[in-house]
Amino acid sequence: MTTPGPIPRLVGRLRTKRADHVVHGVKTLIAALLTWGIVAPWSTGGRPYLAVATALLMVNASTVYQSVTKAAQNVVARVAGLVLAAAQLLGPTAGAVAVIAVIAVLAGPRRTAEDRLQIASTAVIALAATTADPMGSLISPALQTLTGAAVGIAVNALVLPPLYLSESDSAVRDLARSMGTLLHEMGTGLSRRQLTSKAHTWLHQARSLDERLTRAEEQVRQANESLRWNTRCVAHTRRKETAFNDDDTFRALRGVALQVRGIARTLADNAHDNHAHHHLGHQFLDQYAETLQLAGAAVRTFAEPTPATSSPATSPRERLRGAIDGTLAWHDTMTDMIARGTLTKPGAWHVYGSLMTDAERLLADLDRRDTHRHAPTRTD
């Protein structure tokens, strides 16, 4: 099974984004027209601007769950502002405006700054409106807010509600490809005796993986959130269809990233160690180079479907396991030679141990993900 190249992937993403923009525009138009048609007949002067604005805010939420939570916050904030404006004892004076602002800020310390600002602004606007029609100017905005929120949520939930599973999978696959490529480059560099010249470049690339990891983690979080209360799918079914939208799987990938960075850091430190007896021997470098190359292949397939024609014995994971076993066997041989006094104890022994530990942990993270992926799923 071949992996599509960067150009086909880019074209696919552009097509997806274009389709998303079309759906987004249609939903926005439906929400605006539907809200106007519902609220205009009974709104003051036939101008339901507040209801339409609220509906647009809800339908533009990134997920159905977000639209519901934003609606609740929006309604509560505006109702709180209207309640403040209803305090007729303050009167429509500059002093009343100042008191409203102070109350809105001090009365809601647990709210966000945006919520407190919305409470204060709604109260000031409503206070000005109550001079002409005290009760009507308070009830109408509240009803418009509630109606607009309800319409916006309904449209967002029923008209192709947003899902981000493809974006999540793409971000994780890109991260796995980057880590696998870096491991392969480090292995190739070691086999060509380029440790000193390229070690810091590898370390810089390993550190830059943090940004990709953060971006992928955010995409996975958004994909999981988009499954909540989504009418397009049954959550359990869609979770089975995607490989990365669960905490255990992504935790394994985060562990792999830590091991890649640890290997790059150890190699960089050793490359510029002024103690000559701490430098890694060629025999170890050759074996470890093969281990890194196989690790790169295993990590690249970490985010790819396993071809049906591949046998377990020849899979990248098993080849990596064999490489690690071979390196550990060499490690045991060296230890035995040192114990018998036939070989001087190398000063880089602690470096060998660190590199081998990272390689073993990397394999353990891959195995943990594989075990979780094939574990029986609950159907209740």
Residues in CB range of 162: below 8 A, 6 or more apart: 20, 62, 63, 64, 156, 226
Q: pLDDT category, 207, cuts 50, 70, 90? A: very high
- What pLDDT digit, counting tens, does each position of 35-51 carry? 999 998 888 777 788 88
Report the distance separating Cα 17 and Cα 84, nearest Å.
Answer: 43
Pair 211, 341 in one domain: yes
Q: Rounded to an integer, what distance in angstroms lies between the CA atom of residue 134 and that of residue 93?
A: 15
pLDDT of residue 1: 39
Residue with more model confidence, 32 or 338: 32
Same domain flag for 195 and 277 = yes
pTM of the entire structure? 0.70
- Structural domains counted in the chain: 2
Which of 158, 189, 213 is where one domain is finished? 158
Task: Judge if 349 and 236 occupy the same domain.
Answer: yes
For 266-281, write each residue's pLDDT tens digit. 999 988 877 766 677 7
pLDDT of residue 155: 93
Question: Within this chain, do residues 224 and 297 fall inside the same structural domain, yes or no?
Answer: yes
The verdict on residue 378 lying in a domain is no
Segment 61-88 mean pLDDT: 73
Confidence of residue 258 (pLDDT cuts 50, 70, 90): very high
126 domain residue, yes or no? yes
Six-digit token string for 153 = 């949520």
Q: How far apart are CA 58 and CA 52, in angstroms?
A: 10
Q: Which amino acid is at 168?
A: S
At residue 202 the predicted structure's pLDDT band, cuts being 50, 70 and 90, is: very high
Domain shared by 248 and 365, yes or no: yes
Instruction: Indicate the burial class of 256 (C-beta count within 10 angstroms; 0-12, 13-18, 19 or more).
Output: buried
Say yes or no to pLDDT of 17 above 70. Answer: no
Same domain assignment for residues 64 and 169: no
Cβ(141)–Cβ(82) below 8 Å: yes
* Structural domain includes residue 289: yes
Residue type at 309 in one-letter notation: T
Would you place residue 181 in the very low, low, confident or very high pLDDT band (cuts 50, 70, 90)? very high
**Cβ distance 363 to 320 under 8 Å?**
yes
Kindly state the tokens that stand for 364. 């353990």
Mean of the pLDDT values across residues 365-373?
A: 66
Would you state the pLDDT for residue 128? Answer: 55
In a domain, 121, yes or no: yes
Query: Using CA atoms, how far apart are residues 380 and 377, in angstroms rounded to an integer?
Result: 9
Confidence of residue 2 (pLDDT cuts 50, 70, 90): very low
CB 253 within 8 A of CB 369: yes
Q: For position 91, what pLDDT does the model report?
A: 54
pLDDT of residue 131: 52
Q: Which residue has the higher pLDDT, 327 or 373?
A: 327
Average pLDDT, the chain: 75
Count of beta carbons in the 10 Å neighbourhood of residue 330: 16
Same domain, 181 and 224: yes
- Amino acid letter, 215: R
Q: Is residue 239 domain-resident?
A: yes
**Does 186 lie in the same domain as 65?**
no
Question: Within this chain, do residues 83 and 113 fall inside the same structural domain, yes or no?
Answer: yes
Question: Domain range spanning residue 286?
Answer: 165-305+313-373
- As given in the structure block, the two tokens for residue 63 are 């997920």
265 is written with which tokens? 């850091």
Domain ends where: 137, 158, 179?
158
Give pLDDT, residue 299. Answer: 85
What is the per-residue pLDDT for 12? 52
Domain CATH number, residue 236? 1.20.58
Mean pLDDT of 19-27: 83
pLDDT tier at 3 (50, 70, 90 boundaries)?
very low
* Whether residue 83 sits in one domain with residue 183: no
Does the pLDDT of residue 378 top 50, yes or no? no
The pLDDT value given to residue 47? 78
Q: What is the pLDDT of residue 109?
A: 46
Between residues 379 and 6, the one the model is more confident about: 6
Decide if 10 is inside a domain: no
Q: What does the block give as tokens for 33?
A: 């027209």
| Nearest alpha carbon to residue 156 among 251, 68, 276, 96 | 68
Mean pLDDT of all residues in 14-33: 80
- Using the 3D structure, point to which of 106, 125, 158 is the last residue of a domain: 158
pLDDT of residue 308: 43
Lowest mean pLDDT among 93-102, 228-237, 346-355, 359-368: 93-102
Mean pLDDT of the region 294-304 = 78
Position 101 pLDDT exceeds 80 = no
5 inside domain: no
In angstroms, the CA 380 to CA 372 distance is 18
Kindly state whether residues 169 and 154 are assigned to the same domain: no
Q: CA-CA distances (angstroms) from residue 238 to 78, 234, 307?
A: 37, 6, 22
Task: For residues 198 and 272, state if they share a domain.
Answer: yes
Tell me: pLDDT of 204 over 90. Answer: yes
103 is a domain residue = yes
Above 60 in pLDDT, residue 15? no
pLDDT category of residue 235 using cuts at 50, 70 and 90: very low
In the predicted structure, residue 210 carries a pLDDT above the cut 80: yes
* pLDDT score at 198: 94
